[in-house]
Amino acid sequence: MYRRTFLATGAALALSRPALAAGTALRIGLITPPAHQWSKSAQGLADRLAAKSGGAVTLTVLPAGQLGSETQMLQQLQTGALDMAFLTIGEFANRDADFGALLAPCLVKDIPGARALLAKPTAGELLDKTRALGLVGLGFGLAGMRQTLLRKPAATVADLAGRKIRALPLPQEMDFWTRIGATPTPLPLPALYDALSNGQIDGMQIDFEGTWNSRYFELAQEMLASNHMIFPMVAVASARRWKVLPDDTRTLLTAEVQSALSEILNAYDGLDAAYRGQIEATGFPVHTVGADFFGPAIEGWYETWRVKTPILTKLEADAGRA
Ligand code: BEZ
């Protein structure tokens, strides 16, 4: 039985705030390390929930894959063993290929373009599809634009032929690197440092943030600032847990997750530039390349995936590409 609590020391304040169920202890899982923006914003979310509920709602942040891989976290969300997560698009795209359409190469050119795309109704349709997976989609966030970090430099796309490039294990991303002539090598975030240092991979698709924070560039010789894909994040709650939460807790959570996501969506223009600057300041070569670097592989990719996932055409229209 829940005890209704009011936050206020004064009656006016008490009336202006929602009544919250005491003792709602929630957990959120992430694969990103504590220094990553997603983890920092999750901690900010936890702090605000505690403050705004007067301690009635607590959120324990479990970063760095403490609860296991995203596959394991998704299972925990489905059974109700986990309340919330910030997940990459990978788990979704492997269950419903429509999600992978968000990773269309060069669909938008920068973070403002990505942010605008994720605010459009087509992205909203994808968010609603999380219901079918036993989740409540609370909104999209993103990480930095995808770049290409290489152990050996590449002057043209032909130099990538046969190179083992780390990709997310989802069909659209693997297909992109295959069309380029590289050998896509699926690896999750926690495996990257070792794989790059022991030569299991020749390069990776990654962002400036991870490259700086995890010092991947120290194991490489060149970074192509290719901005060739966006990297959406999906903030989800367990549908099983969501339906037993009191209304006022759901209202508070919905609002505060939105502000965490806004913080994330707005952070990455600056973060991409700042982390790139820090990498370059070490003397490490970062070379900007455009969509033309990848050649005809991109158009071939679109021709195939428009047929496999018709939602791609709507995303192209939203992005102003079509
Ligand atoms: C990655 O796997 O590259 C990644 C995962 C989470 C946040 C950013 C990047």
> Based on the domain organization, do 71 and 190 belong to the same domain?
no
First vs last C-alpha separation in the chain: 55
Asked if residue 88 has its Cβ within 6 Å of ligand 1, the reply is yes
Average pLDDT over residues 38-53: 98
Domain co-membership, 221 together with 131: no
Q: For 156-191, write each residue's pLDDT tens digit.
A: 999 999 999 999 999 999 999 999 999 999 999 989
Q: Are residues 86 and 26 in the same domain?
A: yes
Closest CA to ligand 1's atom 5: 189
Work out the number of other CB atoms within 10 angstroms of the CB of residue 320. 11
Both 162 and 260 in one domain: the answer is: no
320 in a structural domain: no
**Residue 83: inside a domain:** yes
Q: For the segment 191-235, what is each residue's pLDDT rounded down to a tens digit?
A: 999 999 999 999 999 999 999 999 999 999 999 999 999 999 999
Residue 129: count of CB within 10 angstroms of its CB: 16
Helix segments in 149-246, DSSP class H: 171-180, 192-197, 208-213, 239-242
Do 201 and 304 fall into the same domain?
yes
pLDDT band at 20 (very low <50, low <70, confident <90, very high): low
Ligand 1: centre distance to CA 261 (Å):
16
Does residue 77 lie within any of the structural domains? yes
Residue 322 maps to a domain:
no
CA of 213 to the centre of ligand 1 (A): 12
Q: Quick check: CB of 211 below 6 Å from ligand 1?
A: no
Q: In terms of domains, do 225 and 248 share one?
A: no
Q: Output the six-digit token pair for 156.
A: 């043209």
Nearest CA to ligand 1 atom 8: 143
Does residue 32's CB lie within 6 angstroms of at least one atom of ligand 1?
yes
Inside any domain, residue 6: yes
| Whether residue 264 sits in one domain with residue 302 | no
Same domain, 246 and 305: no
> Same domain for 11 and 88?
yes
Domain range for 87 is 2-145+230-275
Secondary structure of 66-94 as H, E, C letters? CCCCHHHHHHHHHHCCCCEEEEECHHHHC
- Identify whether 134 is part of a domain: yes
Atom from ligand 1 closest to the CA of residue 38: 7
Percentage of the chain with pLDDT > 90?
Answer: 91
pLDDT digits (tens, 9 = 90+) for 89-134: 999 999 999 999 999 999 999 999 999 999 999 999 999 999 999 9
Q: Is the CB of 142 under 6 A from ligand 1?
A: no
The answer to whether residue 312 scores a pLDDT higher than 50 is yes
Based on the domain organization, do 35 and 62 belong to the same domain? yes
63 and 112 together in one domain: yes
Q: Residue 211: which CATH number?
A: 3.40.190.170
pLDDT band for position 23 (50/70/90)?
Answer: confident
How many domains, the chain? 2
Q: Report the SS3 class of residue 119.
A: coil
Residue 143, pLDDT above cutoff 80: yes
Distance 217 CA to ligand 1 centre (A): 16
Is it the case that residue 19 has pLDDT exceeding 80? no
- Answer yes or no: do 6 and 53 share one domain: yes
